[in-house]
C-alpha cells in the first residue's frame, strides 16, 4: 500500500473517531462536558494534520543524509504540529481523570505539558537535522523529556490519584498504562524510520505511525469518554441530584 493510502486512512479514521467521541460523550456536568470536548477535539486536530500531509501541504523534501547527493526523504512536519496540540490535550484529560474530584495541583499539569512540548520540539529538530551528532543529541534530549513526562504521570499524578475512590483510581491506571504502551512505540518508529536510521520503508513507517495515532487519539479517546461517563454516573448517584447539571468543578 502506498504512503498516500495511509495518510488518507488516517484522515478518515480521525474524522470518524472525532464524530463518535462527540456523539457518545455526555455533558451532564462541567467535568463531563470538558472531557468530551478535550477528547473530541484531539482527533479533529489530527484529521487536519493528515489532510495536510495527504495533499502535500504538510511535508517537505530533505536530503536523505549528509553524504547523499541525490537521495531525498519526505519529512512530514505536520505531524509535529499535530502532536504539539494533541499530546498536551491528552495529558490534560489524563490529569483530569487522576484528579477527578477537583484539579488540586495544576502545577503538575503544567509540568507535564512543558516536558511534553520540549520532547516534541526536540524531536522535530532531530527529524530536521542532517549532521549525525546533532541529530542524535536532539534525539537523546527528546527521550529525556519523554522520561520526565512518565515521571509526572506515574509519580506525581498517581500521588494525587491516591486520594480518589476505587473506580477513579482504576480508570486512571488503565488510561496511564494504555497511553504509555502506545506512546513508547513512537520514538522506536522515529529511530528506525526515514528520519532516523532509515530501516523502514516510507510506506511502512507511515502505516505504523497512522495506527499508533488512531490508537492514541481515537481508541483511547473513546475509552476515556466511556470511563468518564461511568464516573459521572456514580457521582450523580452518590449526590442524588441528577437534575442539577453543571455543578461539578471542571
Helix then strand then coil, in percent of the chain rounded to 5, is 75, 5, 20
pLDDT digits (tens, 9 = 90+) for 122-169: 999 999 998 999 999 999 999 999 999 999 999 999 999 999 999 999
Cβ(5)–Cβ(205) below 8 Å: no
Residue 249 pLDDT exceeds 50: no
- Give the N- to C-terminal CA distance of the chain in Å, as an integer: 44
> Tens digits of per-residue pLDDT, 168-188?
999 999 999 999 999 999 999
Domains belonging to the chain, first-starting first, are 3-238 (1.20.1070.10)
- Residue the block writes with cell 492514541: 216
Looking at residue 79, its pLDDT comes to 96
Using the predicted structure, report yes or no on whether residue 243 has a pLDDT greater than 70. no
* pTM: predicted TM-score of the whole model, two decimal places: 0.90
The per-residue pLDDT of the chain, averaged, comes to 91
Q: What is the pLDDT of residue 115?
A: 97
Contact 160, 108 (CB under 8 A): yes
Chain position carrying cell 502532536: 83
* 247/236 Cα distance (integer angstroms): 10
Amino acid at each position: 500500500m502506498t504512503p498516500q493510502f495511509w495518510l488518507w486512512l488516517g484522515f478518515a479514521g480521525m474524522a470518524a473517531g472525532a464524530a463518535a467521541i462527540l456523539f457518545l460523550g455526555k455533558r451532564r456536568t462541567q467535568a463531563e462536558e470538558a472531557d468530551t470536548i478535550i477528547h473530541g477535539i484531539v482527533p479533529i486536530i489530527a484529521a487536519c494534520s493528515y489532510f495536510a500531509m495527504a495533499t502535500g501541504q504538510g511535508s517537505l523534501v530533505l536530503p536523505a543524509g549528509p553524504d547523499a547527493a541525490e537521495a531525498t526523504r519526505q519529512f512530514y512536519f505536520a505531524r509535529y504540529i499535530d502532536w504539539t496540540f494533541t499530546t498536551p490535550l491528552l495529558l490534560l484529560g489524563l490529569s483530569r481523570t487522576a484528579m477527578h474530584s477537583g484539579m488540586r495541583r495544576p502545577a503538575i499539569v503544567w509540568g507535564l505539558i512543558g516536558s511534553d512540548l520540549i520532547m516534541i520540539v526536540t524531536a522535530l529538530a532531530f527529524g530536521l537535522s542532517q549532521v549525525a551528532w546533532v541529530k542524535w543529541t536532539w534525539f537523546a534530549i527528546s527521550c529525556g523529556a519523554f522520561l520526565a513526562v512518565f515521571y509526572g504521570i506515574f509519580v506525581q499524578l498517581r500521588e494525587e490519584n491516591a486520594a480518589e475512590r476505587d473506580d477513579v483510581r482504576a480508570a486512571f491506571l488503565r488510561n496511564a498504562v494504555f497511553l504509555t504502551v502506545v506512546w513508547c512505540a513512537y520514538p522506536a518508529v522515529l529511530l528506525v524510520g526515514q528520519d532516523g536510521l532509515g530501516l523502514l520503508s516510507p510506506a511502512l513507517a507511515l502505516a505504523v505511525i497512522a495506527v499508533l495515532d488512531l490508537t492514541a487519539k481515537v481508541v483511547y479517546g473513546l475509552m476515556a469518554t466511556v470511563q468518564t461517563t461511568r464516573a459521572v454516573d456514580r457521582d450523580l448517584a452518590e449526590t442524588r441530584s441528577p437534575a442539577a447539571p453543571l455543578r461539578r468543578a471542571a
